[in-house]
Structure 1
């Protein structure tokens, strides 16, 4: 069996002629084309994302609070007019990063107009030299605040978070892929566990782990990956969409060798074949294998994404909306990808309500990939969701409607949290 990038992009249900065409250009025409792409990409980075024309008056931020109960963190923002927004953080990271939120982010936003969020993102990046913290250490706390701000703005504008990002909701339902991680188990053990979880969600796509995670070509246990790649296809049949995630396990040469095995079994994408900051090697693998190369989960830099997209090092972009600092920044990445005919399949991280935020983001993507990550919903956070079960039904999850996040956290649960001081 064989697969190709073209077949994958057709599966996603959209494409642009510019992104699909194989063009042979003279040196002069190539230079002109590159200049055109540079200008178009830069224009995307300058264009506003938020759709908040309904909000004619300033939304002055009166308070920003980080709330904690054991290892769970909430962010609550209030305007001077009494409007409120709330978010749940990526608790796996915030347990280590909350001092950055309290000392480097929270003070900057008091008294600011929340409608100016996009320009404030640029300013807070420079405030107290926060740019020196660039990576998830800075972006996770900032995304935590952004999701509370979007909840607040959405309630005031009577729009969902997705509708704040685009004029059209393209995906009121999200088709899911079941994510699995059974490194350390044999291929035979892994395949049985993968099948169990796929059947539970009725997903029509799945993703599993190959290699040993940033392991310099080691496999855990040895030989697992080469046994498992054909086994997954054989167990699920030719109609199942199959993704494989290496988490940067390989050197370029080994990544290409493993990718060629995936080609034989018609895999649909190959995620992070080499370490995430190996840009040139990612491009090398992308050119050598005939299945789409995906990545971006760990990418902290807008300029880094711009290079990966423009140079066609990635076929599918995967910004993590927590790790990359929120939906606004991630939407710019998705738009740059759309310019080049590439899908966006965002990564979701950690705990809390990450999957719910990802759903709202995907709902606004014209170039959303065909399936999106599902690890099961967090039932430890009590909330009311009148418009969605938040569960996979027939392989699809309905995006909640209503203003802001579209769900209400249990007030008693919120009250059990205490304000984190500096």
Structure 2
């Protein structure tokens, strides 16, 4: 099925590729689009999203999936995939989410892939959402298990082809280094203490950009009261004009509340305004975007490619922030990044904070031409014993991290540590037949 689809779209998509993939133009102020512009935007998004992502042509022979194992030890959740020919891939899941979602992985996601040709990864990632009516659990419930399995399969293909996983979803590496921004995730502390913590962390990361929290997190009650209005100018005055500054409201405001906050951010030359209203208040987001010049950013919670299409085509966002785990893997995330690129928008992915979340994010950012200038950096879980031959995975004196270039994900997990894990093995349903 995958090959047939490629043949059908080959000629038309090749023509569209040059319009989809170049570096986007700079952000323009949000403005309402005309009906004709809206239809043109939808057409660009659809052409971009239809382009194949996984580079199947690198693998001429079938790669049948033989076993899928979910490995558990304390707070660690790993996924190990093996092919019939002995190829192996490993991924590190989002442990916080997998702690409650592992039954879905073992019973509803992994079984569909057993005996299948892993080269059909794109089609399989779509089909598994229908298997056992998994689409009814759309969101983190199925997307974290799907992403966990996809990362292991990509790691396997990377090792087979001696390529980093970025080169399995892109023709080239656009960003061999990732400039980081230093985030502060605290919300219920004073502006002065927030400043202290940002200064402390920037001294370590050497970041040239920062981001902090606004509002009450999906609540219109802020503690301490008036914190955001005081903090926005204070951060700029403390860090100076050269620091790139953004802020995340996590859906704290109504449109009426969000607009004056955004105007204050514009006054102090902030880079972007993240989730000013609850993430699924699309019309309200558009109201805020239409009233402001500062780019809107959205995507951490977004489960739908079609909804991304709507906010992009309607010029409601300047930056998409899909999460590698929360949105179901790199293939789905790449489609959104390409839609954004087609409309001159940036992609600054959200990062899951556990395991190897920021490493998967770096590989993804390395593979897209429309990445933002700075990306969030989160430390590893120090309980994870790993080595990386091609990167320190820490920011240098210029606030940049080198993306690993070793095959697959680019890190090696201590085999003795892996051996401590309990194996939760997926079982193929009796009525399934091998792909070949």
Give the TM-score, by structure 2 length.
Answer: 0.90
**Cα pair 1:256 1:285 within 8 Å, conserved:** yes
Q: Is 1:341 the counterpart of 2:311 in the alignment?
A: no
Superimposed CA distance per residue, residues 229-255 of structure 1 (whole angstroms, 9 cap, x where no aligned partner) = 111001100010001000000011101
Q: Distance in 2 between matches of 1:240 and 1:120?
A: 44
Output the CA distance in 2 between the equivalents of 1:190 and 1:21. 30
Which residue number corresponds to residue 355 of structure 2? 352
What CA distance in whole angstroms lies between the structure 2 residues aligned with 1:71 and 1:194? 28
1:11-37 deviation digits (Å, cap 9, x = unpaired): xx95338x7599999xxxx55544333
2:382 to 379, 382, 405: 379
Q: 1:421 to 1:243 in 2, by over 3 A?
A: same
Asked if structure 2 preserves the Cα contact closer than 8 Å seen for 1:377 and 1:390, the reply is no
Say if 1:110 and 1:89 are closer, same or farther in 2 by CA, change over 3 A.
same
Residue by residue over 1:340-371, the C-alpha shift from the partner in whole angstroms, topping out at 9 and shown as x without a partner, is: 10000000013000000000000001000000
Residue number among 277, 282, 285 corresponding to 1:282 in the alignment:
285
Q: Distance in 2 between matches of 1:378 and 1:390?
A: 13
Listed one character per residue, the Cα deviations across residues 238-290 of structure 1 (whole Å, up to 9, x for unaligned) are: 01000100000001110111111111111111100000000001111111112
Give yes or no for the alignment of 1:160 onto 2:169. no
Q: 2:87 aligns with which of 83, 86, 91?
A: 83
Query: Aligned partners of 1:248 and 1:61: how far apart in 2?
Result: 41
Match of 2:18 in 1: none
Aligned equivalents of 2:176, 2:31: Cα separation in 1: 35
Name 1:143's counterpart in structure 2.
Answer: 147
- Structure 2 CA distance for aligned equivalents of residues 219 and 21 of structure 1: 28
1:293 alignment partner, one of 292, 296, 305 = 296
Q: Could you tell me which runs of 5 or more consecutive residues in structure 2 were left unpaired when the two chains were aligned.
A: 1-21, 427-436
1:116 lines up with 2:120 in the alignment: yes
Q: Deviations over 1:197-229 (max 9, x none)?
A: 1111000001100111001x2112112111111
- Picking from 365, 368, 371, the partner of 2:371 is 368
Quickly say closer, same or farther: Cα 1:184–1:16, change in 2 above 3 A: closer
- Counterpart of 1:10 in structure 2 is none
Q: Distance in 2 between matches of 1:23 and 1:420?
A: 51
Cross-structure match for 1:204? 208
Change (3 A) 1:237 1:23: closer
Superposed CA deviations along residues 314-345 of structure 1, whole A, max 9, x for unmatched, are: 11000001000000100000000001100000
Task: Kindly report which structure 2 residues correspond to 1:86-97, keeping only aligned pairs within 5 A, or say none.
Answer: 86-97=90-101
Give the structure 2 partner of residue 50 of structure 1. Answer: 54
Q: Secondary structure at the match of 2:277?
A: coil
Matched, 1:310 2:329: no
Match in the other structure for 2:248: 245
1:35 aligned residue: 39
Give unpaired runs (5+ residues) of structure 1: 1-12
Further displaced range: 180-189 or 352-361: 180-189
CA contact (8 A) 1:104 1:130 kept: yes
Distance 1:235 1:223, change over 3 A: same
Question: Does the CA-based 8 Å contact 1:100-1:138 persist in structure 2?
Answer: yes
| Matching residue of 1:271 | 274
1:126 matched to 2:130? The reply is: yes
Q: Which whole-Å CA distance do the structure 1 matches of 2:139 and 2:247 have between them?
A: 25
Is the 2:91–2:152 contact (alpha carbons within 8 Å) kept by the matching residues of 1?
A: yes
Q: TM-score, structure 1 length as denominator? A: 0.93
Q: Tell me which moved more, 48-57 or 248-257.
A: 48-57
Number of residue pairs matched by the alignment: 404
Distance 1:31 1:282, change over 3 A: closer
C-alpha distance in 1 between matches for 2:39 and 2:300: 28
Q: Give the superposition deviation at 1:182.
A: 1.9
Q: Deviations over 1:123-170 (max 9, x none)?
A: 101000000000111101100000001000111122111011110100
Separation in 1, partners of 2:23, 2:68: 40
Whether 1:327 aligns to 2:336 is no
DSSP-derived class of the 1:132 partner: helix
Three-state SS of the structure 2 residue aligned to 1:63 is strand
Shift of 1:185: 0.9
Superimposed CA distance per residue, residues 26-60 of structure 1 (whole angstroms, 9 cap, x where no aligned partner): xxxx5554433323322222221012322100000
| Corresponding residue for residue 412 of structure 1 | 416
Asked if the contact 2:48–2:342 (Cα under 8 Å) also holds between the matched residues in 1, the reply is no
| Equivalent residue number for residue 15 of structure 1 | 24
CA distance in 2, matches of 1:39, 1:182: 41
